[in-house]
Amino acid sequence: MKENRTELFVGFFLLIGLLLLGFLVLKFGNFGDRFEKTYSLTVTFEDGGGLLKGTDVRLGGVKIGRLADAPTVNLENYGGAIVNLEIYDDFRIPEGAKFSIGTSGLLGDAMIKIDVPTDRTEKFIAAGSRIKGERITGLGALASSAESLSNKGQVVLEDVRSALEDIGSAVEKLDQSILREENLQSFNRAVAELADALDAINNKVLGDDNTNNLRELLANMKKASIKVDDAAEKIGPILDNGSQAISAIEPGLKKLTDAAEGADKAFERINNGGGILNSILKDEELKKDFKGFIANLRRNGILFYKDSSIKNTESPNSRRRGTFSPR
């Protein structure tokens, strides 16, 4: 009887242990999520590192879904990963929401984080939509940045090392070629010769006699410039009076020029025209007749003028009787 009671207690505690174990398995194994109704979304990331099947999808820190499958390679451009999400039907994601890969917990487990925009509309992301995800945030981003910085630092260190080697070789060449004993002695001699040349210039070229002569020359040049200024002031009024005289002469010269131009035009008309003056100048016979006319006019006057070239056919008696002879 006692053995049966012991076996009963053992069996009872074993049953309780199995129930607790099953509860823990169901609780931490996310078996309850498999009975939730979901809809699918597809998100593309540049880097899908750390994502596994069943990774949580969180909105405001609350789990609203999970990864349906492990990430696959984006075969369209072979850049990044494609992630299929299963979102619970109870949650609707507004349009414009950003999907990024973050971390949660002390161990840095990967998760997909959804950030809702502040300017929301009444529209939501439809089931089956394809969305472009953002870069990794959280510890993953820090690890990626640290790795990138480490690689860049390694490259910089290699460049610095090569630069130091080049500097060392250059210093060595400088020491072997330029800073040799012979070159240093030549440089010292050149410096000494330069000092001697400067002393000679200071003693000879810039001596007291040359300095005094230069001062006198500058003083004479200053006096000459003052005299030139005085002469310029005296010549100025004379030039002004000459300008006024020239301005007064200019109208007379213009009138003379106009008169000469008028005479030229008159002579041109006489030479080229068809008037009596042109005929007198060019026709010799007319010129002789005109001279005869002038001579007869001077000899007989205007009242008793007669042409000597016409033969007189009248008789002497009639000429003697005159106009008032009796009938």
What's the maximum distance between 2 C-alpha atoms anywhere in the chain? 226
pLDDT at residue 212 in the model: 79
Cα–Cα–Cα angle for 121, 122, 126, rounded to 5 degrees: 105
Contact criterion met (CB below 8 Å) for 145 and 138: no
SS3 for 192?
helix
The CA distance from 227 to 222, in Å, is 9
Beta carbons within 8 Å of 206's beta carbon, 6+ residues apart: none
For 13-51, what is each residue's pLDDT tens digit? Answer: 888 988 888 877 776 665 556 667 889 999 998 888 788
Contact criterion met (CB below 8 Å) for 43 and 128: no
For the chain, what's the residue count? 327
Task: Enumerate the β-bridge partners of residue 30.
Answer: none
Residue 322 gets the label, from left (phi > 0), alpha (psi -120 to 50) or beta, of left
Contact criterion met (CB below 8 Å) for 128 and 84: no
Could you tell me the residue ranges of all domains in the chain? 31-137, 273-308
Taking 50 as the pLDDT cut, the residues of the chain under it are 311-327
- Could you tell me which of 111, 119, 127, 94 has the C-alpha nearest to residue 49? 111
Beta carbons within 8 Å of 93's beta carbon, 6+ residues apart: 41, 59, 87, 114, 116, 124, 125
pLDDT at residue 219 in the model: 86
**Residue whose pair of structure tokens reads 């075969």 in the numeric block:** 75
Count of helices and strands (H, E) across the chain: 7, 8
SS3 for 111?
strand
The CA distance from 101 to 81, in Å, is 12
Question: Nearest 5°: phi and psi at 298?
Answer: -70, -35
pLDDT at residue 196 in the model: 81
The CA distance from 38 to 85, in Å, is 9
Q: Going by DSSP bridges, is the β-strand pair 38-45/130-132 parallel, antiparallel, or unpaired? A: parallel
Helix H or strand E segment including 8? helix 2-28
- The identity of residue 89, as a single letter, is D
Output DSSP code: residue 126.
P
pLDDT at residue 84 in the model: 92
Task: Enumerate the β-bridge partners of residue 94.
Answer: 124
Helix H or strand E segment including 98? strand 98-104
The CA distance from 232 to 243, in Å, is 16
| The pTM of the whole model exceeds 0.85 | no
For 94-128, what is each residue's pLDDT tens digit? Answer: 998 999 988 876 666 888 999 998 888 888 999 98
Question: Nearest 5°: phi and psi at 16?
Answer: -60, -40
The CA distance from 120 to 139, in Å, is 29
Output DSSP code: residue 34.
G
